[in-house]
A and B are shown apart, each in its own frame.
Chain A
């Protein structure tokens, strides 16, 4: 069993839809939770970063962490065609910070005009 599980998609939605992307994990030591966005033929870029449990909002993006269920989510409101990309969740333990991230396989999102 992988430490981090993520549905590969693709997830196809119309412009303006609310998108929900999710990851589950098995390692209870994970404390840092991140979402990266990766456009085709580009490196990943950090989108959202949360420490421990709770919600974090940044514009149209909301990240949620439920440590009791070992489940994290990224919500995108009013999705745009420019949001079409692969979204990777990543997490790490307290003592390693960003040094040793464990990534999900990524979910490909397609937002059609």
Chain B
């Protein structure tokens, strides 16, 4: 089944403890992206990647890192999480960035 898989689905952590949210797609898509979704603010893009080793900032990149070493994986790294990064995170992919996005099921992150 074609899908975008995020792990974990739920994560509670404390301020400053590094964490990684994984994202994997099995559709051989070149384009991948991370979004965060907050009440009243909607979905905002954090980072995106056009292909392996090619990443670029979205609208809210501060406090986040990404890497794209393999086509299928696009992990989101929070090196020193803070409470304002408590949010619902979505990974998405598309064949080239000019077609529809396929979204994962989301990761609910709480930073205490």
Interface residues, chain A, CB within 8 Å of chain B? 4, 6, 8, 34, 41-46, 49, 88, 90, 97-101, 103-106
CB of B40 within 8 A of CB of A43, answer no
> Which chain A residue shows the least CB distance to B43?
A103
CB of B41 within 8 A of CB of A105, answer yes
CB of A88 within 8 A of CB of B98, answer no
Interface residues, chain B, CB within 8 Å of chain A? 4, 31, 33, 40-45, 48, 50, 58, 90, 92, 94, 97-101, 103-106
Of A8, A41, A44, A98, the residue contacting B98 (CB under 8 A) is A98
Given A98-B100, A100-B48, decide whether A43 and B106 contact each other with a Cβ distance below 8 A: yes
Q: Which residues of B contact A44 (CB under 8 A)?
A: 43, 90, 101, 103
CB of B40 within 8 A of CB of A98, answer no
Of B4, B58, B94, the residue contacting A98 (CB under 8 A) is B94
CB of A105 within 8 A of CB of B58, answer no
Given A46-B100, A98-B97, A100-B58, decide whether A41 and B106 contact each other with a Cβ distance below 8 A: yes
CB of A105 within 8 A of CB of B42, answer yes
Q: How far is the CA of A88 from the CA of B58 in the complex (A)?
A: 19
Taking the closest CB of chain B, its distance from the CB of A6, in whole angstroms, is 8
CB of A103 within 8 A of CB of B42, answer yes
Q: How far is the CA of A42 from the CA of B104 in the complex (A)?
A: 8
CB of A101 within 8 A of CB of B101, answer yes
A-B residue pairs, 3 tightest by C-beta: A43-B103, A97-B98, A105-B42
Given A88-B43, A98-B101, decide whether A42 and B48 contact each other with a Cβ distance below 8 A: no
Taking the closest CB of chain B, its distance from the CB of A44, in whole angstroms, is 5
Q: How far is the CA of A90 from the CA of B92 in the complex (A)?
A: 14
CB of B42 within 8 A of CB of A45, answer no
CB of A46 within 8 A of CB of B101, answer yes
Q: How far is the CA of A18 from the CA of B97 in the complex (A)?
A: 33
